[in-house]
Amino acid sequence: MPFNLSKITLIILAVIASRPALSEDKPTQKDESDIEKLIITASPLGRSVLQSSTPVSILSGEELEKNQSATLGETLKSVPGVNSTYFGPVASSPIIRGLDGPRVKVLQNGMDSSDASRVGPDHIATTEASTATQIEVLRGPSTLLYGSGAIGGVVNVVDNRLPKTRQEGLNGRVSALHDTVSNERTVSTDINGGQDKFAWHLDAFSRKSDDYDIPDFTLEDGDIVDTLENSDIDSQGFTLGAGWIGDDVTLSLAYGRLETDYGIPGHAHDEHEEEGHDDEEGHDEEGHDEEMEEEEAVFARMKQDRFQSVVDWKNLSGWFTEAHWHNAYTEYQHSEIEGGEVGTTFKNDSLESRLWAKHAAVGGWQGVVGLHYKNSDFSAVGEEAFTPSTESISNALFVLEEKTIGNFLWQLGARLEHVSHKPDNAFFTNSEVNADFDEVSYTANSLSAGFVYQVDEDQSFAVNYAHSERAPSSAEIFSNGIHISTSTFEVGAGFDLVIDDSDPNDLEFTLLQSNQETKKEVSNNLDLTYRVQTEHLHANFSVFYNQIDNYLFQQNTGLEFHENEEEHAGEELEAEGHDDEEHEEEGLPVYVFNQQDAKLYGFEAEVDWHLNDNLRVSAFTDFTRAKLTNSDVENTNLPRIPSMRFGTEFHWEQGNWHAELGATYYSKQDKIADFETQTDGYTLVSAAFNYYLSLDDTDMKFYLKANNLTNELARVHSSFLKDDAPLPARSFVLGAKVSF
């Protein structure tokens, strides 16, 4: 599907020109959200989507339920500008405008999720969509509140665990679904209650699935497969929260527990005959290990304990009118288990605190000033650990200001942050690398300036410029070893890889500690956004340009690592096609963190148009182009960049019935980096039928969804496992929700 800008422009102009002919009554379907009332909870000034100078999307209500998936990345993949890393159905994180990993902050109620999902694509994000009330996606640099890592964007998962409003009586919901493609069974509940100034919250979920079906395809050895082995999930969690809501002071506390066992695709062998990791006793490691031992598969066992608190002071006298103190303490553990043996255990004990206050208006300017502290004690322990234990500390001061002048809403901000990483050098004594890193530290300065111009009551235009600096993560600097889940050998930017090519058929490499400091990334991003909001038409169009100096990216060297069995630490690298009998077994690809200047640019557009009282059509498209700008090599394409896509959906509603039919086209991705392969385009077709029923104070919803109706073989270009783990085959999801 070639991209024709002139045709799309004509369509947009025709739609806008047709607005006066529409009726004055505003129809609303059951799966719609009133965008004018959606408040960005991640914004300390309580602005709506329409008042933001940067592009923001919010999934809530029926729309969130419709897109709900086992992973955060898959839940958000239909949002313009957002794609998924897709490590099979078990783990996927959001990619925003081609940026992922540590450049995208994942938050739980405004505080970092503090898991290991930013370290590797096989690690799940510990935020649960089934119990969320809304998910906010802030595109572009959002470093001012959340830290220097967020130069790609922010995803904030919001739930009711921290009560902030008074509750009278009991309300909540219970949901259940079954998905045929993996025999998934998910049950979740969200209950809220209270009396007078006391409020409480309880949510819980359970999700189990087997290996999921895929359209038939042929492996390199000629075998035809229709199931992705080792792709099952067993996950459960709960959250308890309580709050005291006074007239001027609110205090809320919450505790959450999450446990997940999940297979890691790409490791199971053909002799695998049993489905699932679970025996009759559920999380029984011995039973799990007996099954895995036979096939030497890799699975992960994750658990997290999370404590959060909020203290809000309102109606203050003096220069500050209100103050807020948010805290989170997280204990996270993730073990990668192969053949019944723990290869690596990742732990992350994290403490985060943010204190900010809103000041009285000064010359028409209103805003907030705040302090932000985070301490992360990250460790990786085990024979297969590929990164050292590291303590990371960040301290920051930030300020945000707004002023309305005529039809302009001006928004300014600044952040000053200091970040330090202190690795445990004992990690390197167990390898052949003689490394001794001192504490590395960075000072990151970020600034932003933007405005929202209200053209008329229906149209607005927004511009935002952000200068953002990001300190490299510890994994990007210090990685050095085998990552068993991704089947790669990873080398951080803190090392130089020296290749001995004296024998082209037997290449060897040596890792040396680099004498060059890993530089901080510097992003200069420009966003232009046009919004139309009428009785019948909602539309958003955004273009962006992002120049990133010292961009850190994981590059495939095209070489392979073979472990020296005798020394268990030999580091021998072979070129592809090596025929020596001694190394007939395929090695692990070597990925190195390189640093070069890059530019990313593209657009996002979405339209939602009511044709009449019963029928509406929605459509979206997005595109990101990413390449190096100071490279000496001919190929400047960055790896694993999602392709352009276009999606449309028809919504029909009559009485208690609601039906949808949609399709999303993913274009071919042939703008690929060295040692990448081209990914063919594909189209995914979906449909859904919902029935709504109300009985007294109880609302019920029953639904049937069909995904990938044409059973298309679809591969995700941004996935490390695209050739081994295609998207699921045709599936049907039957579900119900009861709200009271």
- pLDDT 10s digits, 535-575: 899 999 999 999 999 999 888 887 888 765 433 333 444 44
How many helices (H) does the chain have, and how many strands (E)? 6, 36
List, as one string, the DSSP characters of 1-54.
Answer: ----HHHHHHHHHHHHHTGGGS-SS----TT---GGG-B-TTSTT--BGGG-SS
Better pLDDT: 44 or 683: 683
Q: Is 50 exceeded by the pLDDT of residue 118?
A: yes
Instruction: Write down the pLDDT at residue 344.
Output: 83
Query: pLDDT, tens digit, for every residue of 312-323?
Result: 999 999 899 999
Sign for the pseudo-dihedral over CA of 280, 286, 292, 294: negative
Query: pLDDT, tens digit, for every residue of 475-523?
Result: 899 998 888 777 788 899 999 888 776 666 666 778 888 988 999 999 9
Cβ-Cβ contacts under 8 Å for 457 (sequence gap 6 or more) = none
For the record, the structure tokens of 508 come out as: 């060897």
Eight-class DSSP state of 115: S
Q: Is 90 exceeded by the pLDDT of residue 213?
A: yes
Distance CA 51, CA 49 (A): 5
For the record, the structure tokens of 435 come out as: 């490394």
Instruction: Write down the pLDDT at residue 293.
Output: 43
Q: Is 60 exceeded by the pLDDT of residue 70?
A: yes
Instruction: Write down the pLDDT at residue 9.
Output: 37
Distance CA 452, CA 55 (A): 11
pLDDT classification of 645: cutoffs 50, 70, 90: very high
- The amino acid present at 713, given as its one-letter code, is L
Give yes or no for a contact between 183 and 209, defined as CB atoms under 8 angstroms apart: yes
Cβ-count burial 653-691 (b if 16+ within 10 Å, e if not): beeeebebebbbbbbebebbbeebeebebbbbbbbbebe
Q: Is 80 exceeded by the pLDDT of residue 297?
A: no
Query: pLDDT, tens digit, for every residue of 41-56?
Result: 777 777 777 888 888 8
Instruction: Write down the pLDDT at residue 264.
Output: 86
With CA atoms as reference, report the closest residue to 81 among 521, 622, 567, 555.
622
Instruction: Write down the pLDDT at residue 306.
Output: 97
Distance CA 526, CA 449 (A): 10
Give yes or no for a contact between 78 and 69, defined as CB atoms under 8 angstroms apart: no
Q: Is 70 exceeded by the pLDDT of residue 711?
A: yes
**Which whole-number Å values give the CA distances from 304 to 97, 162, 238, 330, 677, in the listed order?**
29, 18, 11, 7, 37
Distance CA 402, CA 398 (A): 14
Q: Is 70 exceeded by the pLDDT of residue 288?
A: no
Strands (DSSP E) along 85-183, which ranges? 94-96, 104-108, 111-112, 134-139, 153-158, 169-179
Give yes or no for a contact between 290 and 337, defined as CB atoms under 8 angstroms apart: no
Query: pLDDT, tens digit, for every residue of 163-179?
Result: 999 988 899 999 999 99
Q: Measure the CA angle with vertex 93, ends 91 and 98; round to 5°.
A: 140
Least confident of 54-63, 130-139, 503-512, 616-625: 503-512
Instruction: Write down the pLDDT at residue 202.
Output: 97
With CA atoms as reference, report the closest residue to 608 among 663, 529, 535.
535
Distance CA 40, CA 61 (A): 15
pLDDT classification of 377: cutoffs 50, 70, 90: very high
Give yes or no for a contact between 124 and 262, defined as CB atoms under 8 angstroms apart: yes
**For the domain 5-739, what is the CATH superfamily, name and number?**
TonB-dependent receptor, beta-barrel domain (2.40.170.20)
Least confident of 358-367, 493-502, 651-660, 677-686: 493-502
Cα 255 versus chain centre, distance: 23
Instruction: Write down the pLDDT at residue 150.
Output: 86
Q: Please, what is the average pLDDT of the chain?
A: 85
Better pLDDT: 498 or 119: 498
**Which whole-number Å values give the CA distances from 485 to 262, 264, 265, in the listed order?**
12, 7, 8
Distance CA 159, CA 567 (A): 51
With CA atoms as reference, report the closest residue to 55 among 626, 622, 543, 456.
543
With CA atoms as reference, report the closest residue to 645 among 665, 624, 670.
665
Instruction: Write down the pLDDT at residue 431.
Output: 63
Cβ-Cβ contacts under 8 Å for 701 (sequence gap 6 or more) = 690, 691, 692, 693, 736, 737, 738, 739
With CA atoms as reference, report the closest residue to 693 among 735, 734, 737.
737
For the record, the structure tokens of 618 come out as: 């929605």
Provide the 3-class DSSP secondary structure of residue 136.
strand
Find the Cα–Cα–Cα–Cα dihedral 256, 261, 266, 271, rounded to 10°.
-170
Better pLDDT: 386 or 287: 386
Of all residues in the chain, the percent with pLDDT exceeding 70 is 87
- The amino acid present at 21, given as its one-letter code, is A
Start-to-end CA distance of the chain, whole Å, equals: 46
For the record, the structure tokens of 164 come out as: 């902030």
Name the β-bridge partners of 411.
402, 450
With CA atoms as reference, report the closest residue to 376 among 328, 414, 343.
328
pLDDT classification of 12: cutoffs 50, 70, 90: very low
Give the CA diameter of the chain.
81
Name the β-bridge partners of 551.
596
pLDDT (mean) for 252-269 = 86
Give yes or no for a contact between 273 and 332, defined as CB atoms under 8 angstroms apart: no
**Which whole-number Å values give the CA distances from 325 to 114, 258, 308, 352, 377, in the listed order?**
18, 25, 11, 11, 22
Least confident of 132-136, 285-289, 634-638: 285-289
Name the β-bridge partners of 252.
243, 310
